[in-house]
Structure 1
Amino acid sequence: MPKRIMQGTVVSDKTDKTVVVNIERKYTHPMLKKTVRRSKRYQAHDEANKYKEGDLVIIQECPPRSKTKRWEVIGDGNKG
């Protein structure tokens, strides 16, 4: 089964080797026909503490690293 990959913004880097990434998605509401924005925050593993608040990053699913971490940062979102 392929791993999910998402792009989002780092909203917190206070924890050691962990960043909190906000993922925003847009979809059309089925009845109102309006564009609706929904966001969700994921805790992702950042081994080198490389990424700081405000950075655009790409995260990928991984086996559980802790109670709340099931994602890991695989790269910078600004690069191609």
Structure 2
Amino acid sequence: MPKRILSGTVTSDANLQTVTVSVERRFTHPVLKKTIRKSKKYRAHDPENTFKTGDKIRIQECAPISKTKRWEVIVG
């Protein structure tokens, strides 16, 4: 099964080797037919601490690194 890739904005880089990424998705409400925006935060592994708050990045699924980290930053 392929690994999921998401793109989002870094909202926090306070922890070492970790960034918090906010990923927004848009969908149409089934009854109201209105476009809705929902966001979710993911904790991603950033080994070199290269990304700062406000950066647009892509993250990819990986094996669990810690209790909350199951994503890694894609470089390139």
Residues 28-39 of structure 1 mapped to structure 2, 5 A cutoff: 28-39=28-39
Runs of 4+ in 1 over 3 A off after TM superposition: none
Aligned partner of 1:11: which letter? T
Unaligned runs of 5+ in 1: none
Using the TM superposition, give the Cα deviation of residue 16 of structure 1 relative to its aligned residue in structure 2, in angstroms.
0.2
* Residues 14-73 of structure 1: per-residue CA shift (max 9 Å, x gap): 000000000000000000000000000000000000000000000000000000000000
- For 2:40, the equivalent position in structure 1 comes to 40
Residues 20-35 of structure 1 mapped to structure 2, 5 A cutoff: 20-35=20-35
| 1:74 and 2:74 matched | yes
- Identical aligned pairs, as a percentage? 62
Distance 2:75 2:59 in 1: 7
TM-score (norm 2): 0.98
- For 1:61, the equivalent position in structure 2 comes to 61
Aligned partner of 2:37: which letter? R
| 1:6 and 2:6 matched | yes
Q: Secondary structure at the match of 1:38?
A: strand
Q: What RMSD in Å do the two structures reach over aligned CA positions?
A: 0.8
Distance 2:63 2:72 in 1: 9
Unaligned runs of 5+ in 2: none
TM-score (norm 1): 0.93
Using the TM superposition, give the Cα deviation of residue 75 of structure 1 relative to its aligned residue in structure 2, in angstroms.
2.7
